[in-house]
Amino acid sequence: ILHFAFCTEYSEKFRRGSLNIYLLWEEKIRMKNKNSYIEDEQRRITDLVTKKFKNYYLTGGTALSFYFNHRFSEDLDFFTQKYKKEDPDRIMSYVFKETSFNFKLEAEQDDPKLIPMRVYFLELNKRCVLKIDFVQDFQENIKRIKNGLHSVEDIYYRKISAAIGMIKKQDATGRVIHAGRQSVKDLFDLYYLSKHHKFFSEFLFEYFSYDRAESLIAWYRGFNRMNLKIELLDLVPNIDAGKVIKHLDSEILKRLPEKLM
């Protein structure tokens, strides 16, 4: 009787465990299909926008994922050197006409002291909403726009600029340095660019002054190491987070300081 009870209990635990594994697998497949659908629509919308409105180009993490397919990126960031206040509404109306996707204006920045921009939500379906930004680009591009995309070099440059930032603060020694946004998405994108395009320690000094390298080192040191691996795995499931950190440690904490000496 005891043996039978043990077997029954074990079978129930095994059944529950199998059910949990199945549910996790089912959720993983669902998310993969959802992301694949969003990526297809991102490409379609980017194609619509940049072919009709040739002054606009896609930049940021999603543009980088179009090149490398290295991670899933949710938003579309369209920049232009010739921003007009009426453009974003015209563009979104055109997207609606071509796709029947409803949209709404979520936010607008029209303060003359700040960078002009508009943010929209585009409803792909009841479960998928795509955030689309239209931004005035004041920075001169490194390379010409091709196929409606910022060049890899330009994205690399902007990612570093975002990390360095424009806000000044004191480091641990009391020196004043620049400090930018601390985003694991930016960190992973910079890792991927360093690993698969051009080493961080080489690219940085082609376009930035030596004092900016110190700001970048401070930016990287600001990440919580205990949380970083978890955040990387949340961003890119099954990534070897240790390998990512090892490469960045080598490039930012070892090679950059060596070049500053």
What is the tens place of the pLDDT at every residue in 97-154? Answer: 999 999 999 999 988 889 999 999 999 987 899 999 999 999 999 999 999 999 999 9
- Position 25 scores a pLDDT of 45
- Position 4 scores a pLDDT of 52
CB 141 within 8 A of CB 153: no
Share of the chain above pLDDT 90, in %: 69
| Domain architecture of the chain: domains with CATH | 31-136 (3.30.460), 152-260 (1.20.58)
Number of C-beta neighbours around residue 164 at 10 A: 23
AA identity, residue 136: Q
**Per-residue pLDDT tens for 158-214?**
999 999 886 555 555 555 555 677 899 999 999 999 999 999 999 999 999 888 898
52 compared with 261, residue with greater pLDDT: 52
- Position 137 scores a pLDDT of 96
- Position 23 scores a pLDDT of 47
CA–CA distance from 155 to each of 44, 79, 161, 180, 205 (Å)?
Answer: 21, 12, 10, 16, 16
For residue 14, pLDDT beyond 90: no
Where is average pLDDT lowest: 42-46, 66-70, 79-83, 207-211? Answer: 207-211
- Position 126 scores a pLDDT of 76
Where is average pLDDT lowest: 9-23, 104-118, 228-242? Answer: 9-23
C-alpha dihedral (39, 43, 48, 49), degrees to nearest 10: 90
- Position 125 scores a pLDDT of 86
